[in-house]
Amino acid sequence: MDLQLTEEQLMIQQAARDFAQTELLPGVIERDEHSIFPHEQVKKMAELGFLGMMVDPKYGGAGLDSVSYVLAMEEIAKIDASAAVIMSVNNSLVCAGLEKYCNEEQKQKYLVPLAQGDVIGAFCLSEPEAGSDATSQKTTAKDMGDYYLLNGTKNWITNGGNASTYVVIAHTHPEKGHKGINAFIVEKGWEGFEIGPKENKMGIRGSDTHSLMFTDVKVPKENRIGEDGFGFNFAMGVLNGGRIGIASQALGIASGAYELALKYAQERKSFGKPIIQHQAIAFKLADMATHITAARMLCFKAAYEKDCGQDISLSGAMAKLYASTTAMDVTTEAVQIHGGNGYVREYHVERMMRDAKITQIYEGTSEIQKIVISRGIAK
């Protein structure tokens, strides 16, 4: 693995950095405070190719590698984690799954507009009593011959209100366990498909999170992804790649908080000198920088292995676990370094600390990542 970034990767990184500073930073506090979805900013992300970064250009994507995706995600999450998770879901969970597993007709109909950013997508797995445990879900898709009849509820769905295309995981043959699960492409506006109220969240408040209710929704047979019973393998494959996106988001949150803390420590004076010259603060920053660098390397490793076609279940879980822990630890220390100023909104770090917590929860909690890792190292 070559740790030297290519010219193209550096260009992508700079483009994402410029976009974050000029388009996302203005108004980020207001969007967080009032839970405002960044409609205009998402449109501009689409124009830059950030909503279908790794999709083949023949399907409307940018055709970039996964390392470029990590770089862009980090820069955007440094400024606005809400925008980053919108981007992550569309790239890692929706576009990646459709490109890898859908047939040509499905790709032309659904993947192309998603990759171009004409619409955004949502991945619907979690339920009131089933998070990452796909085998425990209650949503059903009864085979009616020419169509499936979809019934159930999905919870905590990112992009739930603003998406147009939804990938929904449901049981068709509950008696078969994980072999009886299917994945379907569902469109907003279909009869019986209802979007619940927006969740009032602690963090990533600019992204929209909803419950979705399906009551006798008719899903055409041609909207099933893969063969009958393929849904569990589809979901696990998509989640493996999705962990790289969430790890990159966590990395960006940590990196952004660190940069703010470093700048503040260089400017803020105490006892006649900048507080960075006090060993207590300097050592905090040293630990933060070290953990961020380690998290970045884990993200790069998982992305590199993905591009090489390797199994990333272990490396993706490690990156997600370590980066999310780093995000929580670093943002907490960033607030501490800012002192009282860290507790007010205008300094950004309190928002970053709130945003960081979700990275330890979604795409599988930290405990689930440890299960994945322990199983991987036991092989």
Q: Which residues pair with 158 in a beta bridge?
A: 209
Q: Is a pLDDT exceeding 80 seen at residue 105?
A: yes
C-beta of residue 314 within 8 angstroms of C-beta of residue 377: yes
Each residue's pLDDT tens digit, 211-221: 999 999 999 99
Q: What is the mean pLDDT of residues 44-61?
A: 97
Q: Would you name the residues annotated as active-site residues?
A: 363
Give the strand pairing for 181-187 and 140-143.
Answer: unpaired
Amino acid 209: pLDDT: 97
Q: What is the mean pLDDT of residues 63-75?
A: 97
Domains of the chain by start residue, with CATH: 7-120 (1.10.540.10), 122-231 (2.40.110.10), 238-378 (1.20.140.10)
Each residue's pLDDT tens digit, 233-247: 999 999 988 999 999
Query: Rounded to the nearest 5°, which phi and psi values hold at 63?
Result: 65, 30
Residue 379: count of CB within 10 angstroms of its CB: 5
Which amino acid does the sequence have at 208? Answer: D
Q: Is a pLDDT exceeding 80 seen at residue 7?
A: yes
Largest CA distance in the chain: 78
**Cα–Cα distance for residue pair 211/73, rounded to 1 Å:** 26
Give the strand pairing for 165-171 and 121-124.
Answer: parallel
Amino acid 132: pLDDT: 67
Q: Which two tokens stand for residue 14?
A: 């700079």
Q: Which two tokens stand for residue 364?
A: 């599988």
> What average pLDDT does the chain have?
95
Alpha helices in 20-123 (DSSP H): 28-34, 39-47, 66-79, 81-88, 96-101, 104-106, 112-116
C-beta of residue 92 within 8 angstroms of C-beta of residue 114: no
Amino acid 189: pLDDT: 96
Q: Is a pLDDT exceeding 70 seen at residue 271?
A: yes
